[in-house]
Amino acid sequence: MSPEIVAHRGASTRRPEHTLAAYDLALRQGADGLECDVRLTKDGHLVCVHDRVIDRTSDGHGKVSDLTLAELRRHDFGAWHGGEPAPVLTLEALIGLAQDHGTRLFVETKHPVRYGAQVERTLAAVLNRHAVEAVVMSFSVFAVHRIKKLKPDVPTVLLYDRLWPRTLPRFVDYAGPGIHLLRRHPDRGQGVYTWTVNEPADIALCRDRGVRFLATDNPEETREHLAANLTPDQP
């Protein structure tokens, strides 16, 4: 079967990452899931921002953890990528979009951070308030363990960048290797979550290896490459 296409920070090649415009476009391009990074604001709100600081993706400066949600909302998170002005995206707003479309959400908690375990506790509380199909991920094994204890029914992904162990901790549902690790290990890939896959050769590799979830910045192009590589007897 073809991998499920997960829009990495939305259709982030064509629209500013972590904006509703990026996620709207990803859905129109046929993404099966939406991926986001979350960080905790000074006043305890989860916002979709990848970096520790907002300098790269907004017209503002400073650490997310030092700013309140109201302060973040004073800045434009869209124009830096040539897009329309856009406010900081809260996780709850993205959940609303995912609910409207019946789309699975892949949420990555960032670590290390000032607020530590409070990130997962806040995320679990948000998921308790909203009926949304979610998968939670992190590069931190401790963060993945925490979310599984808090939300045993939520699937988890442990992300890997440098090394890809052969065995998973019991609280991890899916391995999450970077595409560079998939290339390095020709005997692995079945049923994993792989990031961030944009090149045609890597897309084909994910399909051939039986990757379950393929995170990409280009949902439309990725789907086209997968379709082009189908043979008549493949689904």
C-alpha span between 61 and 54 (Å, rounded): 6
Q: Which of these is catalytic: 8, 18, 145, 225?
A: 8
pTM for this one? 0.96
Q: What are phi and psi of 228, to 5 degrees?
A: -70, -25
* Pair 180, 159: CB distance under 8 Å: no
Q: Is 138 helix (H, G, I), strand (E, B) or coil?
A: strand
Name residues whose C-beta falls within 8 Å of residue 184's C-beta, 6 or more positions apart in sequence.
164
The pLDDT score that the predictor gives to residue 11 is 98
The pLDDT score that the predictor gives to residue 232 is 44
Output the six-digit token pair for 124.
């679990």
145 is catalytic: no
Give the CA distances from residue 178 to residues 141, 203, 216, in Å, rounded to whole numbers and listed in that order. 16, 13, 11
50 is catalytic: yes
Name residues whose C-beta falls within 8 Å of residue 171's C-beta, 6 or more positions apart in sequence.
144, 145, 148, 149, 156
* Pair 138, 159: CB distance under 8 Å: yes
Q: Which of these is catalytic: 18, 45, 50, 101?
A: 50
Output the six-digit token pair for 179.
């595409």
**DSSP summary character for residue 103:** -
Q: Give which of 9, 37, 31, 69 is closest to 217, Cα–Cα.
A: 9
**For the chain, how far is it from start to end, CA to CA, in angstroms?**
6
C-alpha span between 111 and 119 (Å, rounded): 9
The rounded average pLDDT for each run of 10 residues, N- to C-terminus, in the chain (235 residues) is 96 98 98 98 98 98 98 97 94 98 98 96 98 98 98 98 97 98 98 98 97 98 90 48
- Report whether the peptide linkage leading into residue 219 is cis, meaning its omega lies within 30 degrees of zero: no
